[in-house]
Amino acid sequence: MRLLRTAATLTLFLAASTVAAQNGSDHLHVAVRRVHISAGFSGEEVFIYGRVPAGTERVVSVISSPTTATVRLMEKGRVGPFWLGVHQYAVHRVPRLYLVSLSCPQGNVLYPCPESDALAAVNPALARIGEIVGLRELEERAEVDVLRGKAGRQEVLRLLRGFWKLQASRGLYAVNTNRIRLNDDSMYYYQAVLPAEAPEGRYEISAFFLAGDGVIGTASTELFVGRSGMVAWLSRLAERRALLYGLITIGIALAAGWLAGTVFRKRTNH
């Protein structure tokens, strides 16, 4: 299965290299246009590839769900023997999914570029075109309201670091420093891992091509992540016909209880 998938990906990649060689603007491709969340979905690997502009030294790619949400967070602290929330915040404009992948020219698989070094190597160049990646992007973009407790800049930064960690533990936020591979300086490719908790929506995928201290090219495309089949039907029903959905749920619950009761009564009587 794994072999089959790899073979299929490779074929696709080779085919794409041919196409890319003919078409000068093919800097970013996604192997699938749409990721289906169906009953068997438990995360998905998405193959992303493209041609790099001549002279590219590093490639950075970002996948983010542009649906920004407001999340309410609290910071726990120790009070006496107990842990309780000492600060409460509302954080606006944070992506639900944010995956940064980088190429790692100096590192190898055993010694990948450390995350901080890799980001420090690309962020100055990206900043010139008004972009930034990693936790710093969150720090720049997110708007934080302190709802309870007193909090300064340091506390807010600590909050965002903690939030990143929380999201990373669910696979929703990540910086992969050694993910993108460059092939003969003409193509790049990588596998992006969408977790099982990946939200629905239109994801934006962007690629930045860096040489020296500057960005020599950018590309962006979209990926649709949507529910399909039974999963789609049920979630729409739950959203749009909530009363019906609730009644159905109760109906099933009572029927299940009654069924078990009846079956067991018959068995006990025998």
Partner 1 sequence: MAGPATRRLSGTVLAAVLLAASGLAAAEGPRLAAGHAGTPCVACHPPGQPGGRPTRCSGDGCHADVTRTYLSSDHDRRHLKASQLACTACHGAHPVLSGRAALTLACENRVDRVCSGCHEAERYAVGAPAPSRKSIPARGGGVHTSARERRGCEAVAISCFTCHGSHTILAPGNRESPVSRQRIAVTCGHCHPEELERYRASSHAAGVAASDGVSPTCVSCHGAHAIAPATGMRTPTGAEEVVFTCAECHEDPDVLRTSGLPLAVIDSYESSVHGIAYAHGIHDVATCVSCHGAHLVLAASDPRSKVNPDNIRTTCAACHSSVSAGMLAAVRHPGGRPGVRGVLARLKLYFPVAGTSVNPLLVSGMGGVVGILSGIFGVGGGFLMTPLLILIGIPAAVAAATDAAQITAGASSGAISHARLGNVDFRMGLAMVAGSWPGGFVGVQVVHTLRTMGNFDFFLKLLYVLLLGFTGITMFVEGVRTLRGRSPGSEPGPGRLSRLFDRLPIQVSFPKSGLRTSVFVPITAGFVVGILAAFLGVGGGFILMPVMIYMIGIPTRVAVGTGLFQIVLTCAYVTLQQSVTNHTVDVLLAVALFAGSTIGAQLGVMASRRLKGEQIRVLLAVIVLGVMLVLLYQLMATPEHLIQFATSGGGH
Among 12, 26, 53, 75, which residue sits at the site for partner 1 (rule: CB under 8 A)? 75
Q: Is 256 in the site for partner 1 (CB under 8 A)?
A: yes
Cα three-residue angle 44-95-170, rounded to 5 degrees: 50
Closest CB to partner 1 among residues 21, 166: 166
Q: Is 264 in the site for partner 1 (CB under 8 A)?
A: yes
Q: Is 199 in the site for partner 1 (CB under 8 A)?
A: yes
Q: Are 184 and 21 in contact (CB under 8 A)?
A: no
Task: Say how many C-beta atoms besides its own lie within 10 A of residue 117's C-beta.
Answer: 13
Closest CB to partner 1 among residues 120, 250: 250
Among 109, 140, 184, 270, which residue sits at the site for partner 1 (rule: CB under 8 A)? 109
Burial of 112 (0-12, 13-18, 19+ CB in 10 A): middle
In the DSSP assignment, the letter for residue 75 is E
User: Stretches 6-14, 122-130, 154-162, 218-226: which one binds partner 1 (CB under 8 A)?
Assistant: 154-162
Q: Is 92 in the site for partner 1 (CB under 8 A)?
A: no
Q: Are 221 and 239 in contact (CB under 8 A)?
A: no
Task: Say how many C-beta atoms besides its own lie within 10 A of residue 107's C-beta.
Answer: 16
Q: What are phi and psi for residue 139, nearest 5 degrees?
A: -65, -35
Interacting residue ranges for partner 1, rule: CB under 8 A: 2, 37-43, 71-77, 81-85, 88-89, 108-110, 147-148, 158-159, 161-163, 165-166, 169, 196-197, 199, 227, 230-232, 234-235, 238-239, 242-243, 245-250, 252-254, 256-265, 268
